[in-house]
Amino acid sequence: MAWLVVRLAISVSLFYTASAVFEDQVGKFDWRQQFIGKVRFALFDTHSQASKKLLVATDKNVFASLNSRTGDLFWRHVDKTGPEGHIDALLMYGQDAVVVAGNGRLLRSWETTVGGLKWETVLDTGSFQAAALVGVQDFVKYVAVLKKSAISLHDLSSGSQIWVENLPDSDTVQYQTIYSGGNGLVFVFGVVPNSHIVIVEYKIEDGEIMNKKSVEAAWMSSLESSCTVISSGILLCVDQITQSLYTLLLQSAEQTEMRQIHLQTLDLEVASGFQPVLTSTQPNPAQPPLSEFFLQLSPDHHILLQLKDGLIVPLRDFNPSYLAAFATSGERTVAAVMSPKNDTACSINLFSADTGRRHLDTTIIYHMDPNGGKPNRLYVHAFLKKDDSVGYRVMVQTEDLTLTFLQQPGRVVWMREEALADVVTMEMIDLPFTGTQAELEGEFGKKAAIQDGLLPMVLKRLSSQFILLQAWLAHLWKLFYDARKPRSSVKNEVNIDTLSRDEFNLQKMMVMVTASGKLFGIDSKSGTILWKQYLENIEPNSVFKLIVQRTTAHFPHPPQCTLLIKNKDTGLGNLYVFNPIFGKKSQISVPALPRPVLQTLLLPVIDQDYAKVLLLIDDQYKVTTFPSTKNILQQLQDTASSIFFYLVDSSQGKLSGFRLRKDLSTELIWEVVIPTEVQKIVAVKGKRANEHVHSQGRVMGDRSVLYKYLNPNLLAVITESTDTHHERSFVGIFLIDGVTGRIVHEAVQRKAKGPVHFVHSENWVVYVYWNSKFRRNEFSVLELFEGAELYNSTVFSSLDRPHPPQVLQQSYIFPAPISTLEATLTEKGITSRHLLVGLPSGNILSLPKMFLDPRRPEVVSEQSREENLIPYAPEMPIRDEWFINYNQTVSRVRGIHTAPSGLESTCLVVAYGLDIYQTRVFPSKQFDVLKDDYDYVLISSVLFGLFFATMISKRLAEVKLLNRAWR
């Protein structure tokens, strides 16, 4: 019976919180963009002429097929993250794509049209070295996989293993590459560094070793990229130190050492310090490679060479040239070479591979993005035109991970910004007012206006009114003009000039910082990239912190964002200041940071230009201010005694608090040591600075108030035990006051393991951990209350808090693993809160905070019913209609960013991971907006009807009265 009551109560509460989108709302205010990451392998489907497929494998362990006409995804397979899903090789033959994944653990064959898995084979252990397609008599039948100590041959149609052989002397010889020229043999090349090369010949049928020879090569350290096989079995190597090319006939018994050809004899020289690269091409795996090859002598110097009758002949020298690639269509092989044209453009030309002659009218002009990086990969798709000439398209990948697909004569077919697959941090910035609004704002906003006097003020007013009128007329004209055009051609194109804040501030600028160092400004309504900026020379493991110093609210001053980039290796940081709306670098002088920056602090103190002051604390605990004007320093001197820092050093298990001194040095005021032998600090979170709490307490069933403990200086510190044994591991949570260092509360979750995800907001902390005893995920919620009375209702000072708060805690079972956790945020904090849970399945669950309430009673009482508390149930429900992204799953969701909008009911949500998904959520439904299907026509017709009825009846009544008076 009691259970029935509980279920009834839950279902009633669900009735109020259910918040799924309707079918006709799909795509109305949400969008998703799918990404793949940095391309490592790209192959064009040359199987048929009309094919539009482009197969790519990326460093994000994604294997996908792109539509080469539009750049959209046909299909995408996202493998496990990390080395387990790492794609080692991608080979394609006909309709099949063979992928070696997980450091040679798995061999998979995919059907390329729909992306279905044809077969999968688990390979023997051993680190992967190389894979190659093996053909016999013009027909590709096998795939060979070379591991560190073994080679195996698999059937291409079924994946079954034909044979596996151990490699001889694999403990001393490093086997690195594999080659098969379609003559029934597989060659495996190994090297003993600075000693000799080992070549083993296997018979395809049974894996018998036909021949094994070692060749003296004292100069050789690695085979990869410095060696290649050309022209019916000739091993070609290049060495930078001896400035020579070496050739070796693979199938000759008499040649026991490599033939040296000095580059000087060809009038060539390798640039000092550059490892020369050889590139050859084998158009058909069942045929020997061509005898032409590229030799890269310096980063911008390629040369096309040909081996003819044992002699190496230069065919064409490309100096300067950035990139070169071979492509084959039918029987014809071409070489595409990218050379610089001028400062902003490159030209790509097509050359015949066997002669080096330039094909006429094949130039593609590639315009380099001034805010982008240099091109670093070139993929060429060659095809035969109707007149039997060779046409081609190219895909260029740049340092900033932009994929550009071009066709003649330089038209950009599509572009993908793959840097967005790795968003590190983001902010949402309000858009500025329109020019006219800004004009009005400016009229009254400028300080100078006060000194202007009366007449100039009047003139200014008149001029701004005139501008308003003009804008209105222009708007009317546009409406009229658009109305005449067919509806389909009228498109709300977003560009940076028409960008302006909408009525409810629902459209914002998403400033995204990616790991590759590229910044993006994306319109949150449509997902259009409005600006991008590539920051060069960013180390791959840099740490970013994005700070909004000035919002758009201070009109004549542009908004200002500051990005702190810290190099992990050197510890040194630098600041990049930019305008988040236009993406332009700001001209403001940035302080030099000679010492490693430990942390930053954004003060609510503003300077005369309305920019918030950023404090940067360095490793000597000295503080640098930005901006650092006299005014600021003066203000800081006044407020220094109330500015506190905390620093958490996870490696030493130390939390320390500092107070700012007047001379911008700091003094240590507290220190908490959490011994690293037992547990280690994994995360620390304070509260969000832009969070508002509307209600200071909670109303109890007896109508008294339980006041919330709203300490803005509270930190939640999560620790994990160093002992990972499932019986002894634990997760700890400390609530520490960041000003005084006082431990407000501590809790330990025994038999629990990380990774811990948590949210710290208002007066509560919600965290998720893995319960290793019951093998399930659990949510735990901590809420802090002051009690029935407020200690001090006007000011909050951490230094004057005599009473510890009451702490309530409850835990629940969550039936799914989670990837990330965030809470919704609204303008005034009146709307109820929801937790946004990113699941590994790609769904984002909007979980009402109501379910995570430590006051949920086990026994229902009159009072708890009065309070609308749901009776405690250990299981947390997951409802399908709580998924805010319905079927638009976000792969590998890493973070969720929430931002308030101008409407109290609405919170903007951006989930990012491999994909980016933007939507709006309404935790308490849209209580401040009329519904979409609101019947304006009915309501207004009724209103007007009543109005006219009143008028008419009034008139009639008057007439009647008059008549009666005459009678």
Partner 1 sequence: MTAPGGGALATRGGATVRRMKWSLELSLGNSRSRGDRQSKDGDVMYPVGYSDKPVPDTSVQEADRNLVEKRCWDVALGPLKQIPMNLFIMYMSGNTISIFPIMMVCMMAWRPIQALMSMSATFKLLESSSQQWLQGLVYLIGNLLGSALAVYKCQSMGLLPTHSSDWLAFIEPPQRLEIMGGGMVM
Which of 599, 806, 810, 832 touches partner 1 by CB under 8 A? 599
**What does each C-alpha distance from 750 to 584, 628, 753, 774, 810 come to in angstroms?**
51, 49, 9, 11, 14
Under the binding rule (CB under 8 A), the answer on residue 602 touching partner 1 is yes
**Piece of the chain touching partner 1 by CB under 8 A; list 85-93, 166-174, 427-435, 790-798:** 790-798
Residue 311 carries which side chain, given as an amino acid letter? Answer: L
Q: What's the length of the chain? A: 967
CB of 125 or CB of 642, closer to partner 1:
642
CB of 71 or CB of 787, closer to partner 1:
787
List the strands of the sheet with 834-838, edge to edge.
Answer: 820-823, 834-838, 844-848
DSSP letter at 342 equals S
CB of 683 or CB of 869, closer to partner 1:
683
Under the binding rule (CB under 8 A), the answer on residue 253 touching partner 1 is no
Under the binding rule (CB under 8 A), the answer on residue 684 touching partner 1 is yes
- Least separation in angstroms between residue 669's CB and partner 1 is 11
Under the binding rule (CB under 8 A), the answer on residue 541 touching partner 1 is no
- Least separation in angstroms between residue 592's CB and partner 1 is 18
Cα 823 from Cα 836, distance rounded (Å): 6
**Piece of the chain touching partner 1 by CB under 8 A; list 248-256, 343-351, 681-689, 884-892:** 681-689
DSSP letter at 443 equals H
- Least separation in angstroms between residue 638's CB and partner 1 is 12
Near partner 1 in 424-443, by CB under 8 A: none
Terminal-to-terminal C-alpha distance of the chain = 78
Under the binding rule (CB under 8 A), the answer on residue 570 touching partner 1 is no
- Least separation in angstroms between residue 591's CB and partner 1 is 17
CB of 229 or CB of 683, closer to partner 1:
683
Residue 95 carries which side chain, given as an amino acid letter? Answer: Q
Do 258 and 250 meet the contact criterion of CB atoms below 8 Å apart?
Answer: no
Do 294 and 302 meet the contact criterion of CB atoms below 8 Å apart?
Answer: yes
Under the binding rule (CB under 8 A), the answer on residue 611 touching partner 1 is no
**In what helix (H) or strand (E) does residue 49 lie, and over which residues does it extend?**
none
Do 333 and 324 meet the contact criterion of CB atoms below 8 Å apart?
Answer: no
Where residue 101 falls (left for φ over 0; alpha for ψ -120 to 50; beta otherwise) is beta
| Interface map 689-728 toward partner 1 (x if CB under 8 A) | ---xxxxxx-xx--xxx----x-xx---------------
- Least separation in angstroms between residue 966's CB and partner 1 is 22
Under the binding rule (CB under 8 A), the answer on residue 673 touching partner 1 is no
Under the binding rule (CB under 8 A), the answer on residue 798 touching partner 1 is yes
CB of 333 or CB of 740, closer to partner 1:
740
- Least separation in angstroms between residue 593's CB and partner 1 is 12
Q: What is the DSSP string of 371-402?
A: TS--EEEEEEEEEE-TTS-EEEEEEEEETT-E
Under the binding rule (CB under 8 A), the answer on residue 67 touching partner 1 is no
Cα 698 from Cα 709, distance rounded (Å): 11
Closest by CA position to 767, among listed 776, 755, 775: 755
3-state secondary structure of 618: strand
**What does each C-alpha distance from 899 to 506, 509, 561, 582, 921 come to in angstroms?**
10, 11, 16, 20, 10
Under the binding rule (CB under 8 A), the answer on residue 548 touching partner 1 is no
CB of 88 or CB of 737, closer to partner 1:
737
Positive or negative, the CA dihedral 111, 115, 121, 127 is positive
- Least separation in angstroms between residue 552's CB and partner 1 is 23
Under the binding rule (CB under 8 A), the answer on residue 826 touching partner 1 is no
Do 614 and 547 meet the contact criterion of CB atoms below 8 Å apart?
Answer: yes
Which of 683, 744, 899, 916 touches partner 1 by CB under 8 A? 683
Residue 55 carries which side chain, given as an amino acid letter? Answer: L
Cα 44 from Cα 55, distance rounded (Å): 6
Which of 166, 260, 639, 724 touches partner 1 by CB under 8 A? 639
Cα 89 from Cα 314, distance rounded (Å): 31
| Interface map 871-910 toward partner 1 (x if CB under 8 A) | ----------------------------------------
Near partner 1 in 721-760, by CB under 8 A: 738-739
Cα 360 from Cα 26, distance rounded (Å): 50
Under the binding rule (CB under 8 A), the answer on residue 642 touching partner 1 is yes
Residue 496 carries which side chain, given as an amino acid letter? Answer: I
- Least separation in angstroms between residue 792's CB and partner 1 is 7
3-state secondary structure of 857: coil
Do 155 and 135 meet the contact criterion of CB atoms below 8 Å apart?
Answer: no
Closest by CA position to 645, among listed 610, 618, 609, 626: 618
- Least separation in angstroms between residue 9's CB and partner 1 is 20
CB of 584 or CB of 692, closer to partner 1:
692
Closest by CA position to 878, among listed 818, 924, 919: 818
**Piece of the chain touching partner 1 by CB under 8 A; list 423-431, 478-486, 789-797, 813-821:** 789-797
Q: Is 661 exposed, middle or buried (0-12, 13-18, 19+ CB in 10 A)?
A: middle
CB of 608 or CB of 704, closer to partner 1:
704
Under the binding rule (CB under 8 A), the answer on residue 646 touching partner 1 is yes
Under the binding rule (CB under 8 A), the answer on residue 796 touching partner 1 is yes
Which of 73, 277, 471, 543 touches partner 1 by CB under 8 A? 543
Under the binding rule (CB under 8 A), the answer on residue 649 touching partner 1 is yes
Cα 939 from Cα 945, distance rounded (Å): 10
Under the binding rule (CB under 8 A), the answer on residue 598 touching partner 1 is yes
Neighbours of 378 (CB within 10 A): 21
Which of 229, 617, 781, 845 touches partner 1 by CB under 8 A? 617
- Least separation in angstroms between residue 448's CB and partner 1 is 32
Do 112 and 97 meet the contact criterion of CB atoms below 8 Å apart?
Answer: yes
- Least separation in angstroms between residue 694's CB and partner 1 is 8
Under the binding rule (CB under 8 A), the answer on residue 797 touching partner 1 is yes
Q: How many residues bind partner 1 (CB under 8 A)?
A: 55
CB of 536 or CB of 649, closer to partner 1:
649
258 phi/psi in degrees, rounded to 5: -75, 145
CB of 374 or CB of 659, closer to partner 1:
659
Under the binding rule (CB under 8 A), the answer on residue 218 touching partner 1 is no
Joined together, the tokens standing for residue 764 give: 């509560």
- Positions that interact with partner 1 (CB under 8 A): 543, 545, 564, 566, 573, 597-604, 615, 617, 639, 642-650, 681, 683-684, 686, 692-697, 699-700, 703-705, 710, 712-713, 738-739, 788, 790, 792-799
